[in-house]
Chain A
Amino acid sequence: MTPSVLDALGRIVGPRWVRHRRAELTTYAMDGLPTHESLPGAVVVPGSRREVADVLRLLHVLGVPFVARGAGTGLSGGALADPDAVLIALTRLNRVLRVDATCRRAVVEPGVVNARLSEAVAPHGLHYVPDPSSQTACTVGGNVAENAGGPHCLKYGVTTNHIAQLDVVLPDGSETTLGSPHGEPWGPDLVGLFVGSEGMFGIAVEITVHLEPVPPAIRTMLAAFGSVRAASEAVSAVIAAGIVPAALEMMDQACVRAVEASIYAAGYPTDAAAVLLVEVDGRPAQVEAESAAVERLLRAHGAGSVLSASAAADRMRLWQGRKKAFGAMGRIAPDLAVQDAVVPRSALPDVLDQIGEIRDRHGLSISNVFHAGDGNLHPNISFDRRDADLAARVKQASKEIMAACVAAGGSITGEHGVGNDKMHYMPWIFDAESLGAMQAVRRVFDPAERSNPGKVLPAGSCREWRAAGSACGGAL
């Protein structure tokens, strides 16, 4: 990045919020995925939405690409920037601006940490539902970009179901408001389109979220099964009974053992082939009826033991193993490739068998911890990236796992996004015309393709669409 660009950025945000020395940039070279790395040209850390807009206007005039970044906890390489791009870190935009308890809405800046938002609204008996495992670090802005999920999205929906309105700065620096406080689109559903656009449509600088009342009663159950298949069948039985639990999570034996050997040990049965964590919530009578039915179904499908807890501390203990599973895997190997894919719920047992076969064939260590209720798998491959041969096998196995999920009628990502990690799988699930449509929509927001370039849409796989009313419409 040339000194004149750095100076111009410094004049907008103040020189101390522009980083360009190699040691400073290294901090931003990766996100939560250990397999991709890239040094940005510069990092700028704006302190207000005005500064974000000014930075984007400057970069628009200069024709410089940019990448927005929250906490950098993403798992698809989506927040990495190339040396020709400016990385815009939104961590200083971290204020909860307004809370309207009556209307159950909050307006937040994009750098607000997910868990902090729920803490901020807790005095009103409310919470923000989407709860990615990284919720103590990840930001609401990043959640919007990735359409993040989490264990409690089974009943309550993912990020897109909780965003009412977005104030955005488009890549040319212009500002607009999408949606309405109610969540009813004001025109076409541009909020729905923007959420999950992986930073390629612009930057959300104010986010109006739906809040939900904290349920009056919650019960968490932990059930142990002799086989993954039996646990999967129990999952289907619960859903088929018309019960939608708040969460329905599965961990396989490898994952349970990793947790129990760590400081996060939660008393999970290490001899079980799989455990299910089921949570039901609502009014006390409803929770009573549903948890009794769930427990009956779990036992009918072979659950050896069912632990049940209602008190907050006891429930937290049951959740601890699940929430800290990724941390626990740090004991196994220095690196963890957290994968993300979705299959139809009925395909879970077969696909998990195939993942086991892929693991054995490549001689890898894979543990599964995932959102069983909606078929969202997270096969996690432990490895050491300094071992080039091992890293190559991890890459190959990841690809084969994705292929198995797609063959089962699934998707290549349920909540982590495509980023630059899964771009090349996109043609497996979308034809050239549909990819072309995505590219054309992207150009509506970003005609010059400067916002998070080189992500999501693989070059050469999108059929060309005519550019709509814009000066720029060149091929990727």
Chain B
Amino acid sequence: MARGRIRLRGGVVIFARLRALLGPSAVDRDTDNLPRATPESSETLALVCRIAHDEGWTMRIEGRGTWLPPDAPADLAVSTRALDAVVSVSPADLVATVQAGATLESVRRALGEQRMWLALDPPGRPERSLGSVAATATAGPLRQGFGPVRDHVLGCTVVTGDGRVVRAGGRVVKNVAGFDLAKLHVGGFGAFGIITELHLRLRAQPETDVTLVQRGPRDPLTRAARDLDEAGFTPAALELVSPALAAEPEWMLAVRLAGLTDGVRAEIAELSGSVAGPWQELPADRAAAFWALVARGAASGPVTLRLGVLGPGVDEAIDLVADALGEGLLAGGPAAGGLRWTGETDADRIRALRRALAAREIPLAVERAPWALRRAVGHFGAYREGVGPLAGRLRETFDPGHQLAVALDGDKSAGDP
């Protein structure tokens, strides 16, 4: 009780201090009544962090609150939602600069107007922020053709826990000047600072973009996906989707072909002739709805897990996950690898699954979960030998006062593998 009273009083003080600093429009209260700063520039966000560092306040990082629940205990919340501008788009260079709070939807719209495309289809809702996508490195089915999130990030601006503004990478598509710090922040879950701006690599919109599907039991679909890959097809996406996630009675295998119309049409003809079918081509609106369903579905349970499994290992990994946690909402790449599971589970089951996967050299990241579970098992859990001290010292470097409430490696006393 005493602690609760102190926090309440502190909350009032912090709220007043932030309002005096940022102005009333940039400070409000979060869903749990926590003071929430919504700075409009990297520099003002840095100011908040510097004061938090000096005062010893802890901070919860929020994007737009649609992916990770904004529930980490802290003295204040810092949200990037007011950093929502699409700063610049260069069609000739196929690069864009966006602020971290910009939504997927708004970025897609701004790019679409100029026939450009960010080839990322992360799980979650369209109003999810780009900063959240980068910080959690959550790629979707398009990773098959265009790689993981880090391949799309040319550079970023980050504010550290003690309020330093660091610029990593650049705005050109090829760049080896200095150490590649952007890699640390993409997928760092905010533990090494708050991403405030991103330089992104774009593609020209494909002339034709077609999705074909098959339904059936898992085994033949997995085989069909492997055959397609072995035959040298290079689809934009090739995803195996569980019945619950696809909202279908059976498993689905979806292949997305994008490129010049003549090439895509010829590939569809070859596909139907050479790789176990039958394939059903989805009309454009149904294809869009299907991929949106896969993306949204991944956020429809309280916990989302990501497995770094190789394509040929996806089948076995699905069995392992289904045995440990139930089939849930599940999607995986039989060629590109990677598996995402969404559903309800607890810390013990995640720890047990992590142990089973670690024996197969498969990392399991907790992409989304309520704070109590994140705290217990961490986004990453136990590291491989020797990595923990490096991760710890990196964290110490970018957040020396432990301002940022991020559960990177979980509760060590709980017997992680």
Contacts and interface: CB of A to CB of B under 8 A. Distances in A.
A285 B266 contact: yes
**Residue with the greatest number of chain A CB neighbours at <10 A, chosen from B164, B177, B233, B394:** B177
Contacts of A456: 178-179
Interface size band for B: 35 or more
Interface stretch (B54-62, B78-86, B318-326, B382-390): B382-390
Contacts of B180: 147, 160, 192-193, 195-197
B24 interface: no
B385 A441 contact: no
Interface in A152-210: 153, 157-158, 160-161, 170, 174-178, 180-193, 195-197, 200
B378 to A, nearest CB: 9
Contacts of B292: none
**Residue with the greatest number of chain B CB neighbours at <10 A, chosen from A149, A180, A188, A426:** A188
Interface string B312-338: 110000000000000000000000011
B179 A188 contact: no
Given A285-B263, A286-B263, A288-B263, A413 B176 contact: yes
B263 to A, nearest CB: 3
Contacts, number: 284
B178 A418 contact: yes
Interface string B138-162: 0000000001101100000000100
A182 B309 contact: yes
A125 to B, nearest CB: 9
Given A283-B270, A444-B390, A193 B177 contact: no
Contact of B178 (A153, A239, A286, A426): A426
B93 A344 contact: yes
A470 B390 CA distance: 11
B131 interface: no
Contacts of B168: 434, 437
Contact of B233 (A176, A283, A342, A346): A283
Interface stretch (A28-36, A249-257, A369-377): A369-377
A187 B358 CA distance: 13
Interface residues of A, number: 97
Contact of B176 (A105, A147, A466): A147
A453 interface: no
Contacts of A430: 167, 177-178
Contact of A186 (B204, B270, B337, B363): B363
A410 B154 CA distance: 12
Nearest to B193: A437
A441 B260 contact: no
A274 interface: no
For the residues of B in contact with A, the DSSP-based class is loop
B415 to A, nearest CB: 18
A81 B206 CA distance: 49
A343 interface: yes
A36 B410 CA distance: 48
A469 B204 CA distance: 46
B175 A186 contact: no
A193 B184 contact: yes
Contacts of B308: 180, 182-186
Interface stretch (A39-47, A57-65, A240-248): A240-248
Interface of B: 90-95, 137, 147-148, 150-151, 160, 164-168, 170-181, 183-184, 186-188, 191-192, 203-207, 231-234, 259-263, 266-267, 269-270, 306-313, 337-338, 361-363, 365, 380, 383-398, 400, 408-409
Given A189-B187, A431-B167, 12 more contacts: A102-B312, A146-B176, A149-B174, A160-B180, A176-B390, A242-B205, A244-B203, A342-B173, A346-B90, A346-B93, A376-B174, A438-B181
29 contacts: A160-B180, A176-B384, A176-B386, A177-B384, A180-B363, A182-B338, A185-B363, A188-B187, A188-B191, A191-B183, A192-B184, A193-B179, A193-B180, A193-B181, A240-B91, A240-B204, A242-B259, A283-B234, A285-B266, A286-B234, A288-B266, A345-B94, A414-B172, A426-B178, A437-B160, A437-B164, A441-B394, A465-B164, A468-B395
